[in-house]
């Protein structure tokens, strides 16, 4: 009986002792935004505090720039539309499409390098000027400008009716499996960090 109990205790310790402790990154957003309802554009400034609650040291942060999903026929969103037989976006005029631009990322007041994902223009890697250690935070700021597309998916306008979702630059999720940079898709679920928002 003693041997069985010892074996069970060792087995439990082996199975659960090596388990990675759950963590979740924290993001606090402050966004000042203005809608131009004649040009159907958003002009904004974002300031966010990103806290690294993981046990890992981070060299960069992936960001989602999902309004760029509506920029051209090469995006993951456009390809999904083609694959599903939906031609409305593909057949649309350039003036009816959308994008995000005018980005200039600062990390703790330092202008940083950033680059688009190799395959997706709606995902970007922001290089940090210093390593982000576990338990530490950085302040990330950027202006941004969005041309709202017609309503092809969750972001857009129909005249002066606006559907504004997935519109601001936001960090991709970092969890025990690493980074989850994902292109925007019409069909699918979103995986985002929990955050606190102050939007004016």
- In the chain, DSSP assigns E strands to 26-36, 41-51, 58-64, 99-101, 106-107, 110-111, 114-116, 123-132, 137-147, 156-158, 161-163, 170-171, 173-175, 178-180, 195-199
pLDDT at 161: 96
Fold of 22-199: Immunoglobulin-like (2.60.40)
pLDDT at 190: 82
pLDDT at 169: 98
91 pLDDT above the threshold of 70: yes
**Higher confidence at residue 18 or residue 162?**
162
Confidence of residue 58 (pLDDT cuts 50, 70, 90): very high
Average per-residue pLDDT for the chain: 92
Instruction: Tell me the whole-structure pTM to 2 decimals.
Output: 0.87
pLDDT at 13: 59
Confidence of residue 18 (pLDDT cuts 50, 70, 90): low
């Amino acid at each position: 009986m003693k041997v069985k109990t010892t074996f069970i205790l060792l087995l439990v310790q082996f199975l659960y002792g090596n388990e990675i402790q759950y963590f979740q990154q924290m993001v606090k957003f402050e966004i000042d935004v203005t809608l131009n309802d004649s040009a159907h554009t958003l002009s904004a400034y974002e300031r966010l505090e990103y806290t690294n609650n993981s046990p890992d040291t981070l060299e960069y942060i992936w960001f989602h720039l999902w309004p760029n999903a509506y920029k051209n026929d090469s995006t993951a969103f456009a390809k999904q539309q083609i694959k599903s037989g939906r031609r409305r976006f593909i057949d649309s005029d350039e003036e009816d499409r959308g994008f995000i631009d005018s980005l200039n990322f600062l990390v703790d007041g330092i202008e940083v390098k950033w680059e688009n994902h190799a395959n997706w223009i709606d995902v970007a890697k922001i290089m940090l000027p210093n390593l982000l250690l576990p338990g530490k935070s950085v302040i990330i700021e950027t202006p941004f400008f969005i041309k709202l597309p017609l309503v092809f998916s969750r972001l857009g306008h129909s005249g002066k009716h606006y559907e504004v979702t997935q519109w601001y630059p936001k960090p991709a999720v970092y969890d025990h499996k690493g980074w989850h940079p994902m292109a925007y898709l019409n069909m699918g679920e979103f995986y985002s960090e929990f955050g606190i928002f102050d939007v004016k």
